[in-house]
Structure 1
Amino acid sequence: MGAHQWGTHAVTFAAGGVTKRFPATAHERAVREWRALTLLDRHAPGLAPRPYSCDLGDAGPVVSMSLLPGVPLRGAPLDGERLTRLARTVNALHSALPADVLARVPVRPEGPAELGARLRGWAPRVRGRVDAAVEGAVDAGLAWLDASGLDRTEQAAVPAVFGPGDGNLANYLWDGSRVRVVDFEDSGRSDRAYELAEITEHVASWVEHPLDVTAFLSHVELTAAETVRLRDCRRLIALVWLFLLSFEDLASGDPAARRNPPGTARRQAGRLLALLG
């Protein structure tokens, strides 16, 4: 048994189970977590933890679920088998819910429109305070965003899928034969391109052991429209991470604020410029 404090919840591990305790301000996160667990248990059992119980009261929601075996895919190179199993799990997750059920699931938070507005609000916080190479990439990314219109499209012209809303490979657990998924606080109705971009551009997918993006995406069948959107969504998420890593550098006087090696923001600037082509 043990307890760990994360950014949005406290996690307690007991025999066979996990309990997540959310602050009152994270009520919607708890609702999304419970909704995802119950829907996946009904329509794709075994893909995610089994839901046990919940208390979604406004004063500190609590969600309890089963404890999945396995180790996170973050932090170690992914060989061919694990990469294939990861892609298989992602495909299964996206297609887990029948169309009529998915249509009733609320849209996930942090979509392109929200991110676009947030990025423009963040810009004054980094200009003149970061490395020139990083600032140049920020400016190039924002210029692309303004021209792309990606964050002004109300609804993407691509099929809807169920999205977990977090591309961190730490949320994908390998038990030696299959990959399963945890953490659905930001889940909801989404689209395949956006969810794939969350995985390929998350800092966890490249800072230590780079994900073979080409090999990973070769396991996913995309329409022409999804292929175009994936390119733009990757650019958007890469720009988000450039800001986040820049903020980490600006807070580097606080050791607790640093999660990545020094110089990661500069590396991210290069990644973004490469994606912008």
Structure 2
Amino acid sequence: MAAGRCTHRLDIRNDIVVKRYTSWERGEPHREWAALTLLAEHAPDLAPAPVEAVLDAHPPMIVMTRLPGRILRGEHATGEQITAMAAALNRLHQIPARVVKEVEPAPWGPAAAIDKARSWADEQLALGQAHLVQEAFRAGAAWLASTIPDKLTTNPLPPVLGLADGNRANYLWDDLQRCVRLIDWEDSGRNDRAFELGEVCEHISRIDGSLDAELLLAHMDLAPEEAERVRDFRILIALGWFLQLGPTGPATPHNPVGTLERQAKRILQLLS
């Protein structure tokens, strides 16, 4: 969730993309190469195909195929695009559990998100004194102090391979094929499906354009228990971003004026 973090440079050519990493202390090149290799076998054409990797170089480098299309961040996603996003996620989440269990856990998941949000809430980061913002902070802090977040750390369902990043810049819309593909797998790993869906719905990139999260979830075939977990993860992810949006917060420079107030409204809406 680290706001504004950039870990790579891209050299985009006619049919390939060369990705050189500028930081890799969390194993980003290895994660991405492992994910692309697995996807090429179990969900071909859902992501770039792996071409070549030099993982132990300085800097590490990966070469992958270039996919057609444009990113969905900044777009007002249409019903067709949302349906295509859901189809891509369903296909990703259908990779057999026996395969996913061999994948390293994602660095960003339920436990990490809960710890971060609680830490930020305890620090009482400067969010300003606006009534709406303070109301959202009090309600969010009370939710974080409850037993609900702790219950989210136990996943009753099989894990999935996930991006562990809900940024809509990772979703590529192909106008010709009328489909969505997924890019940027450097934070990927084994994860909780409900958490992954909460990330997609509540990542701060949702304010750049629009995405009907309810329509997306309607296409995801969620059991009642999983739907409840998605709702709670949406609260958690939304709170994490809210707590980074104060005047000196790390997410503030990357978002337009008024984002804090919009996020406060979102918190209260999700908690109502």
TM-score by length of 2: 0.89
> Which whole-Å CA distance do the structure 2 matches of 1:214 and 1:129 have between them?
29
> Which whole-Å CA distance do the structure 1 matches of 2:199 and 2:39 have between them?
20
Q: Which residue of 2 aligns with 1:237?
A: 237
What is the 5 A alignment of 1:47-62? 47-57=46-56, 59-62=58-61
- Does residue 178 in structure 1 map to residue 151 in structure 2? no
RMSD of equivalent CA atoms: 2.3
> Which whole-Å CA distance do the structure 1 matches of 2:216 and 2:171 have between them?
14
**Code of the aligned partner of 1:229:** R
Q: 2:105 aligns with which of 104, 107, 130?
A: 107
Q: 2:256 aligns with which of 255, 258, 261?
A: 261
Deviations 1:54-111 (A, max 9, x none): 122174221111111101111122222111111111111111x222211111221122
Q: Which residue of 1 aligns with 2:221?
A: 221
**Code of the aligned partner of 2:205:** A
Partner of 1:106: helix, strand, or coil?
coil
Partner of 1:194: helix, strand, or coil?
helix
> Which whole-Å CA distance do the structure 1 matches of 2:162 and 2:267 have between them?
24
Partner of 2:27: helix, strand, or coil?
helix
Deviations 1:111-134 (A, max 9, x none): 221122222332365545524332
- For the 8 Å contact 2:11–2:19, the answer to whether it is kept is yes
Change (3 A) 1:139 1:44: same
How far the C-alpha of 1:24 sits from its partner, in A, is 4.9
How far the C-alpha of 1:16 sits from its partner, in A, is 1.2
Paired residue total: 266
Gaps of 5+ in 1: none
Change (3 A) 1:32 1:151: farther
> Which whole-Å CA distance do the structure 2 matches of 1:109 and 1:90 have between them?
19
**Code of the aligned partner of 2:154:** Q
Q: Which residue of 2 aligns with 1:193?
A: 194
> Which whole-Å CA distance do the structure 2 matches of 1:99 and 1:136 have between them?
42
How far the C-alpha of 1:180 sits from its partner, in A, is 0.6
> Which whole-Å CA distance do the structure 2 matches of 1:126 and 1:58 have between them?
42
What is the 5 A alignment of 1:247-258? 249-250=247-248, 258=253
- Does residue 202 in structure 1 map to residue 239 in structure 2? no
> Which whole-Å CA distance do the structure 1 matches of 2:23 and 2:260 have between them?
33
Gaps of 5+ in 2: none
How far the C-alpha of 1:154 sits from its partner, in A, is 4.3
Change (3 A) 1:160 1:143: same
Deviations 1:166-190 (A, max 9, x none): 1111111111111111011111111
**Code of the aligned partner of 2:245:** L
How far the C-alpha of 1:27 sits from its partner, in A, is 5.0
Deviations 1:224-274 (A, max 9, x none): 22011111100000001102222xx3269xxx9622210111110110111
4+ long deviations beyond 6 Å: none
Partner of 2:264: helix, strand, or coil?
helix
> Which whole-Å CA distance do the structure 2 matches of 1:102 and 1:130 have between them?
43
**Code of the aligned partner of 2:117:** L
Change (3 A) 1:129 1:179: closer
Change (3 A) 1:208 1:114: closer
- Does residue 273 in structure 1 map to residue 268 in structure 2? yes
What is the 5 A alignment of 1:31-46? 31-46=30-45
Change (3 A) 1:59 1:257: farther
- Does residue 91 in structure 1 map to residue 86 in structure 2? no
The sequence identity of aligned pairs, in percent, is: 42
> Which whole-Å CA distance do the structure 2 matches of 1:194 and 1:27 have between them?
20
How far the C-alpha of 1:221 sits from its partner, in A, is 0.5
**Code of the aligned partner of 1:52:** V
Partner of 2:25: helix, strand, or coil?
helix
> Which whole-Å CA distance do the structure 1 matches of 2:143 and 2:249 have between them?
27
TM-score by length of 1: 0.88
- For the 8 Å contact 2:116–2:240, the answer to whether it is kept is no
Partner of 1:110: helix, strand, or coil?
coil
- For the 8 Å contact 1:22–1:62, the answer to whether it is kept is yes
Change (3 A) 1:25 1:85: closer
